[in-house]
Amino acid sequence: MTIAQFAILGGLLFSIGVYGVLVRRNAVLVLLSVELMMTAVNINLVAFGRYFDNIAGQIFSLFVIAVAAAEVGIGLAIVLLIFRNRASANVDELDLLRW
């Protein structure tokens, strides 16, 4: 397997994540799309770490997974509270910070 295949897989996953973030209205799905983008990054880290024979890539991906878990925890908690307040979790309705 060549490095290009891993890079293409990472790029596809990242693009799907970007698409999900920009298009989905449900906050939970937006968070899921963010997870997809992180997964794409992890694949790239591990692949290039292997490719350059550098263990740092794998170690770094473990850190990213840990941070992503924490980020998803906080993100879901926020989404849950917003839902409780507004009976909706649609991100396009959450525009309190606009001009």
Partner 1 sequence: MVTMLSSAAGTLVAAEEVALSDGGALAQYAWLMVVLPFVAALVITLYGKKTPKGGAYIAVASVAFVLVYGLVLLISHWANPITHTENFNIATVGQFDIEWGVVVDGLSIMMYFVVGAISTASFVYAVSYMEGDVRETAFWASFSLFAGAMLVLVSSANILQLIVGWELVGVASYLLIGHYWEQHENSSAAIKAFLVNKTADVGLVIGALIPALIVGSFRFHDILGAAVEGNPGIVKYGFIIGLLLFIGAMGKSAQFPFHVWLPDAMAGPTPVSALMHAATMVTAGVYLLGRMFPFYNSVAIDVLPIVMWIGGITMFIAGLLAIVQDDIKRVLAYSTVSQLGYMTAAMGAGAYTAGLFHLFTHAFFKSLLFLGAGSVIHAVHSNYMSDMGGLRKYMPTTFWTFGIGSLALAGFPLLAGFFSKDEILASLNYASSHGTPSATYVMWIGIVTAFVTAFYMARAVFLTFFGEYKGDPAHEPHESPAVMTVPLQALAVGAIVAGYFNVPGIFTPFTDWLSGREFAPGDHHPESFDVFVLIAGTLAGLAGIAIGYNFFFADGESQKARDSRFRLPKPIHTLLVNKYYIDDLYMLIVEFIRRPLANAANWLNGLIDAVVSGTGILTASIGRFVYEGLDQRGIDASINAIGGGTGEAGAALRYLQTGKVQQYAAALFFGVLALVAAFFVWTSI
Residue 10 burial (C-beta neighbours within 10 Å; 0-12, 13-18, 19+): buried
Binds partner 1 by CB under 8 A, chosen from 22, 70, 74, 87: 22
> Is 53 a binder of partner 1 (CB under 8 A)?
no
Exposed, middle or buried by CB within 10 Å (0-12, 13-18, 19+), for 27? buried
Among residues 1, 4, 70, 96, the one that binds partner 1 under rule CB under 8 A: 96
Segment near partner 1 (CB under 8 A); pick from 4-12, 22-30, 42-50, 66-74:
22-30
Question: 3-class SS at 90?
Answer: strand
Q: Give 37 or 45: the residue with its C-beta nearer to partner 1.
A: 37
CB 31 within 8 A of CB 21: no
Residues pairing with 26 in the sheet = 90
Contacts (CB under 8 A) with partner 1, residues 72-91: 91
Closer CB to partner 1, 84 or 98, in the complex: 98
Site of interaction with partner 1 (CB under 8 A): 18, 21-23, 30, 91-92, 94-99
